[in-house]
Each structure stands twice: as C-alpha cells, then as structure tokens.
Structure 1
Amino acid sequence: MVKEHHDNDKTPAEVQDRIWELADKIDICMFTTWDGERQRSRPLSARVRREEHAIHFLVDAEGQKNWQVDKFPWVSCAWVDSGGHKYAVISGSAEVTNDRAKITELWTDFDKAWWDDASDPSIRLLTVTPDDGELWDSPNRAVAFAKMAVAAVTGTAPDFGDNAKVDL
C-alpha cells in the first residue's frame, strides 16, 4: 500500500523494488535507534535479504544499540548514494539474537575487521523486519546542483526528483 506518493511515476511495487535494490547495493547504512531520550545513529554493514523480508547485521554483544533495540525496537536504516543523489530509508522493528547458524551463514571476510571468525561468542545477530520505506531517486549531480542554484536565486524549494513512501 502506498502511504504517500509525490510527483512519482513509479508504481508502489517499483518503489519497493528500488528501495530494496538501493539498500542491497549501497551496503553501509546509518542505523538509528532511540535510547529513551534521543536518537543514536551509527554506520553498519547491512545484509539485505528481501526474500526473508529482513535486513541483518552482525553486531558485538556489548554494543549500546543492543539494549536500545531491546527496550525500543522501532529503528530506521538510511542508505545514501551521495554521488548519485539516491537515498533509501527503511523503518521497522529490530531484534537482537544469538542465532549462531544465521551468524555463520552471513559471515564474510569483511567481518574479520572486528572478529577472528564466525564462531566468536561475542557476535550477535541484529535483524530488522521492515515495515515501511521511503525513496528519493534523484537526477544526476550536475542537474541537482543546478536546481539548488536556481532555488537559491528564486527562493523556491528545489525538486530533487522522485520521492515516494510505501509499506514494505
């Protein structure tokens, strides 16, 4: 279901496809939690699994985000392709588990920067179940810069291309 639809020629299904595609392609997202007083964001490597309707992260057992997710499970993940002016945000509920089989399945050489191997007992699985997403699929940088310049001169807001919000 489409919640909002702004100057967008994509169908809701196409918007959903594009959000999942950008999340998978960009990889690193800003993962935002709530600590009861303020939002906290940090970059995390996302394992996007649309077929599971899930986004997985390998995290350390000691991270503050773990208790934040336990107490306030609603989170958001934001991916930015700044060179292409493309942005995707997925919001949903998160859970931290000690699913050793899934941790092993998701393990990559990239993770060796933090742990020796997938059997490290301090690794936890953080899984986000998406609820909704938002997409900004913008024109190229030169066009975006020109639109910002025109906006600055005319005092009008620049049009940065398609924006849509959908349920996931």
Structure 2
Amino acid sequence: MKERSDDNPSTPEQVTERIWELAEKIDICMFTTWDGDQQRSRPLSARVSRQEHAIYFLVDEEGHKNEQVDKFPTVSLAWADNSGHKYVVIAGKAAVSNDRGKISDLWSNWDKAWWEDANDPSIRLLTVTPEDGELWDSPNAVVAGAKMLMAVVTGGAPEMGDNAKVDL
C-alpha cells in the first residue's frame, strides 16, 4: 500500500480503525447473505461496536435472511459514502438470537418505524462477528471530482485513492 498523508490510513492498524469508523458513521449497509443458489442483499441499519468486535442489527423474526444466516452464516456488509468516495466491506459470521437485554440496549426511536417498542416479541438480534474488511478511501469529494475530470480530459483512469484489506 502506498504511503498516505496524515488524514489517510497507511498501516494495517490505521486501515482497521478507518473501517470501523466509516462503518459506524455511514450506518446503513447492504447486508448480503447466501441462500444456497444466489446472494441476497438488503439495506439494514448497523449498530457498530468495535469494543465488542461486533456489528448488531435488529431484525424481525420473520424473513428469509434469518434462515439464510442459520444455514450459511458467512455474510458480507457493504457501506457506501458516494459523496465522499469512501467504501467499506466487512465479511464475517452472523448469528440470530433472541437476546432481549441486548435488543433493549440497542433500541432507538428509529426502530419505532418497524416495532412498537423494544419489548416486541418479534424482534431478533442479528450479530455479525467481523473476520476481514476492505476499504476504498478517497481524500475528499473535491479532489475526487478533479481527478475524474482530468481522467475524462486525458482518457486515462483516475487514481481515486487507496484500497486496503485487513483481517479484523
């Protein structure tokens, strides 16, 4: 990986920190499972906890993703900040549980869009334990726009920032 300025990660530890930071900041990710025939993706709100080395989701007890996770626990999570040209993918193992204490801890007012309150018996906790992550990080939107414009003018491919993969 190329050397980077102080704002951009250059060591595996900095890349790891940036992956966790962006996953928490962006919030909504595409949660991808495998059903035995093909991948299935859906947007979910991620509750990121680096201290617990976990990413949590509140989900309904109904739904194919729960069955898919039970049969094929390896999942992929993808976050995109298109305006800033920043992208994160985390792969890991997922499990669905009925941990009422953790569900209550994670509950927010936004969850009222799907359930009345944290005591709704249909809420389940989906926990992902990250195994590896990948980061695409551009310095900022102005620089990215200028690089894309230059690529159009010159006919070359733009250098949009570094890509790095780390074990989590």
Tell me, which stretches of 5 or more residues in structure 1 are unaligned?
A: 1-5
- Cα offset, 1:36, TM superposition: 1.1
* TM-score (structure 2 length as normaliser): 0.91
Report which stretch shifted further, 149-158 or 74-83. Answer: 149-158
- Cα offset, 1:153, TM superposition: 4.8
What count of residue pairs does the alignment treat as equivalent?
163
Alpha-carbon contact 1:34-1:72 (below 8 Å) kept: yes
> Hey, what does 1:88 align to over in structure 2?
88
Listed one character per residue, the Cα deviations across residues 41-99 of structure 1 (whole Å, up to 9, x for unaligned) are 11100010111000000000001110111111111111111111111111100000111
Alpha-carbon contact 1:29-1:46 (below 8 Å) kept: yes
- Cα offset, 1:157, TM superposition: 2.8
Alpha-carbon contact 1:86-1:136 (below 8 Å) kept: yes
Q: Distance in 1 between matches of 2:139 and 2:151?
A: 15
Alpha-carbon contact 1:30-1:79 (below 8 Å) kept: yes
Alpha-carbon contact 1:7-1:163 (below 8 Å) kept: no
- Cα offset, 1:38, TM superposition: 1.2
> Hey, what does 2:53 align to over in structure 1?
53
Tell me, which stretches of 5 or more residues in structure 2 are unaligned?
A: 5-9
- Cα offset, 1:141, TM superposition: 2.2
> Hey, what does 1:22 align to over in structure 2?
22
Residue type at the aligned position of 2:99: D
Residue type at the aligned position of 1:97: S
Matched residue SS, 1:119: coil
Residue type at the aligned position of 1:7: K
- Cα offset, 1:163, TM superposition: 1.2
- Cα offset, 1:148, TM superposition: 2.5
Residue type at the aligned position of 1:157: A
Report 1:1-168 matches (<5 A): 6-9=1-4, 10-168=10-168
> Hey, what does 2:7 align to over in structure 1?
none
Q: Distance in 2 between matches of 1:74 and 1:157?
A: 34
Q: Distance in 1 between matches of 2:117 and 2:23?
A: 25
Alpha-carbon contact 1:8-1:163 (below 8 Å) kept: no
Report which stretch shifted further, 70-79 or 141-150. Answer: 141-150
Residue type at the aligned position of 2:11: T
Identity %: 72
Matched residue SS, 1:59: strand
- Residues 8 and 56 of structure 1, relative CA distance in 2, 3 Å threshold: farther
Matched residue SS, 1:117: coil
Residue type at the aligned position of 1:100: R
